[in-house]
Chains A and B, each alone.
Chain A
Amino acid sequence: MRSILRYIISFVLLLNVSNVGAQEKKTEEKETKPALLNGLTVQVDIASLAYNLISNGGTYSSEASVQADLKHKYFPIVEVGFGGADKVTADNIGFKTNGLFGRVGVDLNLLKQKEGAKPTNNLFLAGVRLGFTSFLYDISNVTISDNYWGTTEVLNYEKQSATKIWYEIVAGVKVEVIKNIYMGWTIRTKNLLNKNAEGEVSPWYVPGFGVNTSSTWGFSYSIGYRF
């Protein structure tokens, strides 16, 4: 409870930080250059786990990430996960897939550190990701019926393969709640780089991306440990 309180307060504080920074310009000049690598944080996304529990939309996803801290300014990140879908539409068309996905990217800490002060571990991050996944999917029971000529055809598309690449623009907050334990959230827009042509069989769900529209959004809430 206390840690959540601390987390929320720190987030509120972040909003005023730019003003505070302006007032404290003339603090001591002692240069403490941050080290190049200040530890690796291993994080698990809880938002997707919670979503899997409450979702009845037929999709699931889990992911974890490793983020490095370079000079308290650049935060390269690798995110890997597993996602899938098992859905039947109102017209009884079935869609099934699962697959691994990965994203690489970098976040930038937008908070100016006080010069000379001990660097805080509360971060306001903005960054980009490049996502990639390659997976197989099945679409079953696609019915083409003809009322006039009285024919019905059922199509099944099995083991269709797809490779999707997308980019994401990410903003988020990451706070050290207890020593070396981090919590944070991100919100992101996702934009698909390779779309299917009209009329082509295409996957309804893309692991790591979501439901296959040209752009979508994502939310993550992660908990992590810094080594």
Chain B
Amino acid sequence: MKKTIPIFITLFLVFFIACTGDQECRKNRYVNLQIGFYHSTYNSTKDAYVDASFSVDSLTLQGIKTAETGEETLVDSILYNNQKSVSKLVLPLDKSSEQSKYLVVFNDVSDTITVFHTNYDYYLSLECGCIKTFSIDTVLTTNNFIDSVKIINHDVINVDAEHIKIYN
């Protein structure tokens, strides 16, 4: 009897303390814009144009921050620095602006990509906090290397998916 009570109390405490630990975030917090590179080629057996993925030999990419005055400055850090064999871009969109602009150098040819987006606060949990998700409105590019773009998925959320196709 004298032993039962401490055992009971210990079990009771263990039972509770075991369940009050701080939980950590187990949700994906990464929200990135994904862009793939494609050639559109004519497939005679299917009698249709099909997309074939390709990689750029060397690619350099940097963000361009547009100030309220309209002045554009390059973001100091470089996202892709002369990287080899790039077939896909994974880019952070600007959370504090509704426009994200990038300077991309394909081999030696420069283009800018401007993505216009609407931003949303997306609350995950107390442990994970809040993330920004985006809805792509428009994509504008210069056409030195890039032939055309196609938005295949407007919603940029914390799910790994391709959003934009760039055709060369």
CB-CB < 8 A to A57: which residues of B? 20-22
Comparing A33-41, A108-116, A147-155, A167-175, the segment that makes contact with chain B is: A147-155
Q: Determine whether B139 belongs to the interface, using a CB cutoff of 8 Å to chain A.
A: no
Closest approach, in angstroms, between the C-beta of B37 and any C-beta of chain A? 21
Known contacts A4-B5, A95-B126, A142-B129; is-contact A149 B20 (Cβ 8 Å): no
Which of B1, B129, B131 makes the CB contact (< 8 A) with A91? B129
Closest approach, in angstroms, between the C-beta of B2 and any C-beta of chain A? 9
**Cross-chain contact A204 with B125 (CB below 8 angstroms):** yes
Known contacts A149-B75, A151-B96, A199-B122; is-contact A55 B16 (Cβ 8 Å): yes
Number of A-B contacts (CB under 8 A): 79
Beyond the given pairs A142-B123, A204-B125, 18 more chain A to chain B contacts, judged by CB atoms under 8 angstroms and listed by A's residue number, are A55-B16, A57-B20, A57-B21, A57-B22, A89-B127, A90-B22, A91-B127, A93-B129, A144-B95, A144-B129, A144-B132, A146-B92, A148-B75, A149-B63, A149-B94, A149-B97, A151-B95, A204-B126
Closest approach, in angstroms, between the C-beta of A196 and any C-beta of chain B? 9
A20–B130 alpha-carbon span in the complex (Å): 59
- List 3 tightest A-B contacts by C-beta distance, closest first: A57-B20, A151-B96, A204-B126
- Among B88-107, those with CB < 8 Å from A are 92, 94-97, 100
**Cross-chain contact B123 with A149 (CB below 8 angstroms):** no
- Among A130-188, those with CB < 8 Å from B are 139, 142-144, 146-151, 153, 155, 157
**Cross-chain contact B22 with A144 (CB below 8 angstroms):** no
**Cross-chain contact B4 with A142 (CB below 8 angstroms):** no
Closest approach, in angstroms, between the C-beta of B97 and any C-beta of chain A? 8
Question: In the complex, how many residues of chain A place their beta carbon closer than 8 angstroms to a beta carbon of chain B?
Answer: 37
Which of A59, A151, A201 makes the CB contact (< 8 A) with B94? A151
Q: Produce 1/0 per residue, B39-69, CB < 8 A to A.
A: 0000000000000000000000001010000
Question: In the complex, how many residues of chain B place their beta carbon closer than 8 angstroms to a beta carbon of chain A?
Answer: 36
- Among A3-27, those with CB < 8 Å from B are 4-5, 8
**Cross-chain contact A148 with B79 (CB below 8 angstroms):** yes
Q: Determine whether A87 belongs to the interface, using a CB cutoff of 8 Å to chain B.
A: yes
| Nearest neighbor of B157 in chain A, beta-carbon distance | A199
Q: Can you list 15 contacts pairing A with B, beta carbon distance less than 8 Å?
A: A1-B1, A56-B20, A93-B129, A139-B126, A144-B95, A147-B92, A148-B77, A149-B63, A149-B92, A149-B95, A149-B96, A149-B100, A151-B95, A153-B95, A199-B133
